[in-house]
Structure 1
Amino acid sequence: MDAAEILVTLGGSGLAAFVLWYFFLSARRTASAVSASGGLQEVDITVKGGYSPDVIEVERGKPVQLRFYRDEENSCSEELLIPDFRIRRDLPAFKTTLVELLPQQAGRFEFTCGMSMLRGTLVVK
Structure 2
Amino acid sequence: MTASQIVVTLTGLALSGFIAWFFWFAPKGQTRAAAGAGGVQEVAVIVKGGYTPDVIVVKAGHPVRLRFTRQESASCSEMVLFPDFNRNAKLPEGEEVAVEFTPDKPGEYGFQCQMGMLRGKLIVE
Please give the range of the TM-score, normalised by the shorter of the 2 chains. 0.7 to 0.9
* 2:82 equivalent in structure 1: 82
| TM-score, normalisation: structure 2 | 0.84
SS of residue paired to 1:88:
strand
2:30–2:53 contact (8 Å) kept in structure 1? yes
* 2:26 equivalent in structure 1: 26
SS of residue paired to 2:117:
coil
Q: Which runs of 5+ in 2 are unaligned?
A: none
2:88–2:99 contact (8 Å) kept in structure 1? no
**1:78-117 alignment runs, 5 A limit:** 78-117=78-117
* 2:62 equivalent in structure 1: 62
Aligned positions, number: 125
Runs of 4+ with deviation above 6 angstroms: 8-12
| TM-score, normalisation: structure 1 | 0.84
* 1:45 equivalent in structure 2: 45
RMSD between aligned alpha carbons? 2.2
Deviation at 1:46, TM superposition (A): 0.6
